[in-house]
Amino acid sequence: MVSHLKTFDDRKLLAESLADAVAATLAAAIDARGQAVLAVSGGSTPKAFFQALSTRALDWEKVAITLVDERFVPADNPRSNHLLVAENLLKNAAAAAEFVPLYHQAETAEEAGRLATEETAELGSPFDVVILGMGNDGHTASFFPGGDNLERALDLGLPPEVIAMEAEGAGEPRLTFTLSALDDAELLVLHIEGAEKKAVLDKALGDGADAEMPIRAVLRHASSPVSIYWAP
């Protein structure tokens, strides 16, 4: 699906503008059906956006927040995306939102993925807002080049679920929604910052296999338009 690049003079302006766009989409979903679902990514990029969004006036008690992906670690681990969201987004007005984790204590990441698939099924689909990040290797969510479950993760013919993913560049085992759970969001955002990530995006927009730079699967095959938010 076509992507739209929105360029901002600085990262604070991007964070405020993205927070406004997300808040408006969530508010419209609440007006339409009494609830809204937001799925966010972890990493270092989204912190300022999370903090801006946390201050927006919304019926947050009608909003469910979950993760696009998670490291297979408990919420008290510094690598946890749940911890990142708890510290930066689930505060101020947004503290009233419901958080639905992907991590579950289980023998294996596969079992945790099955539990997360069951628990997140209640969120319904499509999600109202999905916020994706991107690594310098062209991964997004936990769709890493060389990932052991990458083909399954990118197969839009498969039903939405949370699956385990292991890859050299991923560190610990990951839990990730499949692309089919994310690609039809009402508002589908790729949030990246810095010159290096812009160069990675430009390469991803060129020729090459999806598996080489999995962000390509989103840019090329998502059923929703991709809104790319970028600041230097």
Shortest reach from residue 66's CB to ligand 6PG, in Å:
12
Shortest reach from residue 140's CB to ligand 6PG, in Å:
5
Nearer Cβ to ligand 6PG (81/180) = 81
Rounded distance between C-alpha atoms, residue 82 and residue 73, angstroms: 9
Nearer Cβ to ligand 6PG (58/131) = 131
Q: Which amino acid is at 125?
A: S
Shortest reach from residue 33's CB to ligand 6PG, in Å:
27
Nearer Cβ to ligand 6PG (45/54) = 45
Nearer Cβ to ligand 6PG (25/140) = 140
Rounded distance between C-alpha atoms, residue 13 and residue 16, angstroms: 5
Nearer Cβ to ligand 6PG (5/32) = 5
Rounded distance between C-alpha atoms, residue 164 and residue 143, angstroms: 10
Nearer Cβ to ligand 6PG (41/88) = 41
Give me the DSSP letters along 86-151. Answer: HHHTSSGGGGGSEEE-S----SSHHHHHHHHHHHHGGG-SS-SEEEE---TTS-BTTB-TT-TTHH
Q: What's the chain's Rg over C-alpha atoms?
A: 16
Shortest reach from residue 196's CB to ligand 6PG, in Å:
10
End-to-end CA distance of the chain: 25
Which residue is nearest to ligand 6PG, using beta carbons? 133
Shortest reach from residue 134's CB to ligand 6PG, in Å:
6
Give the binding site for ligand 6PG (CB under 6 A): 41-45, 68-69, 81, 133-135, 140-141
Q: Which amino acid is at 152?
A: R
Rounded distance between C-alpha atoms, residue 129 and residue 78, angstroms: 25
Q: For residue 164, list its beta bridge partners.
A: 175
Shortest reach from residue 20's CB to ligand 6PG, in Å:
21
